[in-house]
């Protein structure tokens, strides 16, 4: 896909982005505004009670963060007016019909203007409460699809899923869509029925309420229910199970709407642009690295030859944009969703032994900088100007290796 084709396609286009305050959503918003300032409009739907609150969320959680530094440097004092012209914050809720967009005039405007709908929204906790995961990863995807199908100019609905909907498989995994009710592996249960899963969730919640269960008991019960149902049908955890059910609904109900599903593997920090190494909070493998660095994880039992399928976030967004443009321009009907697996294990695999070498080298370099007097900020807001504070330092474990 030629970059010129992408830039030309984005010109004068209107895109609805669901999940714009999430990690990938922010990177997508920044990149589209940076590479094509003549984009017509980005509708960014966020959970908020009104337009003002939605706008503040977009400003605080997206536009004003470090990720937008390149755009700020480019536009300077004109950035605010540029954002006001190109970005429209929409107060809504993906768990509701019409995505919770209550302003009928705005809703009709969106139905008229939107060319592409992108759904980045998800709850990614492996052991999320079953009701929460089912609502966000499964039913919300269906609500976004229903909204997209009402857009008069719609060219593409692109949904971001995860490669791990395929379950605990090995070898080459094909880009195959799910049929409604499909189960995985050696699951011998009856056909999966998503409506029955919804009813089970409602029944369980009603029963807990009747028993005056504590908040902790409700959380624990719903988390256990999610894991139990996932494993019953062949998935390892609630996250990938509910994402798979979301894909099933999209494929079954998409009708003639062009549907692309992106399945990334383990998403890491930005590789190249706009800020190499940028990441937000602890994600997937990061928690293991930080725990090791803090001395809280002295060892990790694992096969050193195991491949970690890591993919930088900006590469995932590049695939999202390229797939969106390529399939929208092709304008060819496909009865099944068009699926892309996005990973690195085939062409550039990273083993656990490689990861150990990488973060050991990084932490040792930081240790040297600390000894040389470079200032760092610890989790307890203490500044090191020389030496090492063994009580607070996250490099404790390195000192013994």
Give the Cα separation of 22 and 123 in Å (integer): 10
Residue 204 φ then ψ, to 5°: -65, -45
Catalytically annotated residue among 13, 26, 155, 243: 243
Give the Cα separation of 178 and 187 in Å (integer): 15
Contacts of 8 (CB under 8 A, 6+ apart): none
By percentage, how much of the chain surpasses pLDDT 70? 90
pLDDT at 34 over 70: yes
Q: 31 falls in which pLDDT band (50, 70, 90)?
A: very high
Residue pointed to by tokens 């009813």: 199
pLDDT at 249 over 80: yes
Nearest to 114 by CA among 239, 15, 205: 15
**Whether the Cβ atoms of residue 115 and residue 14 lie closer than 8 Å to each other:** yes
Q: Which alpha helices (H) appear in 128-266, and where do they start and end?
A: 130-133, 140-148, 194-210, 215-232, 238-253
pLDDT of residue 248: 97
Could you tell me the sign of the dihedral formed by the alpha carbons of 38, 39, 45, 49, in that order? positive
Global pTM reads 0.88
Residue 281 Cα distances to 69, 285, 310, angstroms: 18, 11, 17
Contacts of 6 (CB under 8 A, 6+ apart): 35, 36, 321, 322, 325
Mean pLDDT of 96-123: 96
Instruction: Answer with the residue of higher pLDDT: 173 or 203.
Output: 203
Classify residue 78 as exposed, middle or buried by CB count within 10 Å of its CB (0-12, 13-18, 19+): exposed
Catalytically annotated residue among 130, 164, 233, 239: 239
Residue pointed to by tokens 């995961």: 133
Each residue of 356-395: pLDDT tens digit? 787 778 777 777 777 776 655 444 333 333 333 333 333 3
pLDDT of residue 145: 98
Tell me whether residue 239 is one of the annotated catalytic residues: yes
Mean pLDDT of 139-150: 97
Residue 366 Cα distances to 50, 87, 270, 363, angstroms: 45, 39, 20, 5
| E-state strands within 48-140 | 87-92, 116-119
**Whether the Cβ atoms of residue 94 and residue 100 lie closer than 8 Å to each other:** yes
pLDDT at 118 over 60: yes
CATH architecture assignment, domain 3-265+309-348: 3-Layer(aba) Sandwich (3.40)
pLDDT of residue 314: 96
pLDDT of residue 57: 96
Q: 187 falls in which pLDDT band (50, 70, 90)?
A: low
Mean pLDDT of 310-327: 94
Each residue of 121-144: pLDDT tens digit? 999 999 999 999 999 999 999 999
Tokens of 386: 């020389």
pLDDT of residue 391: 36
Contacts of 174 (CB under 8 A, 6+ apart): none
Q: Cα 141 from chain centroid? A: 13
pLDDT at 349 over 70: yes
Tell me whether residue 215 is one of the annotated catalytic residues: no
Mean pLDDT of 43-72: 95
Q: 176 falls in which pLDDT band (50, 70, 90)?
A: very high
Q: 54 falls in which pLDDT band (50, 70, 90)?
A: very high
pLDDT of residue 308: 86
- Please give the mean pLDDT across all residues of the chain: 88
pLDDT of residue 374: 63
Give the Cα separation of 244 and 138 in Å (integer): 8
pLDDT at 1 over 70: no
pLDDT at 82 over 90: yes
pLDDT of residue 378: 42
Mean pLDDT of 234-254: 97
Q: Where in the chain is the domain with CATH 3.40.50.720?
A: 3-265+309-348
Mean pLDDT of 315-327: 95
Instruction: Answer with the residue of higher pLDDT: 366 or 90.
Output: 90
Each residue of 283-296: pLDDT tens digit? 767 777 777 777 78
Longest dimension (CA), the chain: 65
For residue 117, what are the β-bridge partners?
16, 157
**Whether the Cβ atoms of residue 316 and residue 22 lie closer than 8 Å to each other:** no
pLDDT of residue 361: 80
pLDDT of residue 360: 74
């Amino acid at each position: 896909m030629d970059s010129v084709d992408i830039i030309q396609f984005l010109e004068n286009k209107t895109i609805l982005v669901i999940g714009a305050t999430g990690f990938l959503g922010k990177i997508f918003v920044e990149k589209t505004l940076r590479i094509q300032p003549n984009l017509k409009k980005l509708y960014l739907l966020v959970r908020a009670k009104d337009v003002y609150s939605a706008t503040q969320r977009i400003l605080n959680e997206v536009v004003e963060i470090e990720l937008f530094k390149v755009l700020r440097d480019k536009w300077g004092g004109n950035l605010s007016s540029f954002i006001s012209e190109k970005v429209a914050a929409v107060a809504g809720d993906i768990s509701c019909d019409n995505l919770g967009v209550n302003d009928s005039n705005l809703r009709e405007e969106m139905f008229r203007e939107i060319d592409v709908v992108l759904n980045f929204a998800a709850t990614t906790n492996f052991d999320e409460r079953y009701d929460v995961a089912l609502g966000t990863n499964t039913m919300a995807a269906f609500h976004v699809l229903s909204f997209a199908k009402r857009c008069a100019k719609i060219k593409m609905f692109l949904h971001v899923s995860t490669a791990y909907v395929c379950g605990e498989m090995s070898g080459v995994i094909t880009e195959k869509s799910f049929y409604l009710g499909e189960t995985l592996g050696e699951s011998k249960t009856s056909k999966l029925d998503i409506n029955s899963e919804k009813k089970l969730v409602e029944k369980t919640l009603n029963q807990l309420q009747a028993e005056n269960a504590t908040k902790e008991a409700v959380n624990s019960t719903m988390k256990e229910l999610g894991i139990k149902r996932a494993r019953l049908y062949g998935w390892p955890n609630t996250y990938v199970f509910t994402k798979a059910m979301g894909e099933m609904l999209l494929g079954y109900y998409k009708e003639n709407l062009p549907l692309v599903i992106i399945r990334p593997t383990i998403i890491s920090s930005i590789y190249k642009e706009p800020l190499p190494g940028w990441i937000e909070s602890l994600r997937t493998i990061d928690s293991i690295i930080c725990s090791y660095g803090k001395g809280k994880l002295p060892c990790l039992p694992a096969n050193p030859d195991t491949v970690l399928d890591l993919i930088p976030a900006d590469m995932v967004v590049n695939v999202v944009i390229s797939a969106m443009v390529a399939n929208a321009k092709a304008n060819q009907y496909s009865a099944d969703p068009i699926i892309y697996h996005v990973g690195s294990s085939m062409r550039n695999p990273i083993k656990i032994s490689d990861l150990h070498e990488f973060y050991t080298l990084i932490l040792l370099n930081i240790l040297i900088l600390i000894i040389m007097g470079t200032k760092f900020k610890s989790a307890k807001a203490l500044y090191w100007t020389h030496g090492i504070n063994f009580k607070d330092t996250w490099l404790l474990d390195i000192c013994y290796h």
